[in-house]
Amino acid sequence: MLADLILAGFGIAEDYNCAETILAGANQVYHLGLDKDALKLAAGFGGGMAIEGDCGALTGAIMVLGKLYVKDRAHESDTIKELTKELFEKYRQAMGETDCAPLKTKYRNDEVKCRLVILKAAEILDEIVTREDLKAVGINGA
């Protein structure tokens, strides 16, 4: 799914930032139906919103969760809050951080750039989306 696309190099040739890579890649693999203008919404979230705050790969993943699991607005259910919290908790467990600056210190170098950070966000997003999709079709225990 998305992690496979990232592993294949998606986003490199396009020169996407971390948030753009997640959103544009998810648009392809999860068939979100976002047009080119909608994908621009992720532009300012790269580099931890340009201030090395919350990781852009995570903010891109939150956009995906919103598109997939919010019917009209966030306040209609707790689903988006629960899924966002799960995303951040699993990411923190796996990577030790959720903020851009320490993630870059630990995982970024000139060769791989932020690909490891993006890949981990994609893997966790794939896990959540797969489970939620299975629940939606009545397959529990996922």
Instruction: Look up the pTM and report it.
Output: 0.95
What's the pLDDT at 4?
98
- Provide the residue range defining the domain that includes 37: 2-136
How many structural domains are present in the chain?
A: 1
Residue 51, Cα to own-chain centre: how many angstroms?
18
Task: Note the pLDDT of residue 139.
Answer: 82
Domain membership flag for residue 141? no
What are the CA-CA distances from residue 93 to residues 28, 45, 46, 124 (Å)? 27, 22, 21, 11
What pLDDT score was predicted for residue 138?
Answer: 84
Nearest partner of 64 among 90, 39, 88, judged by Cα: 39
With tokens 């209609």, the residue in question is 76
pLDDT along the chain (142 residues), means of 10: 98 97 98 97 97 98 97 95 98 98 96 96 98 87 54
Backbone angles phi, psi at 54, to 5 degrees: -55, 135
142 domain-assigned: no
Residue 28: the pLDDT is 98
Q: Is residue 25 part of a domain?
A: yes
pLDDT, residue 141, reads 56
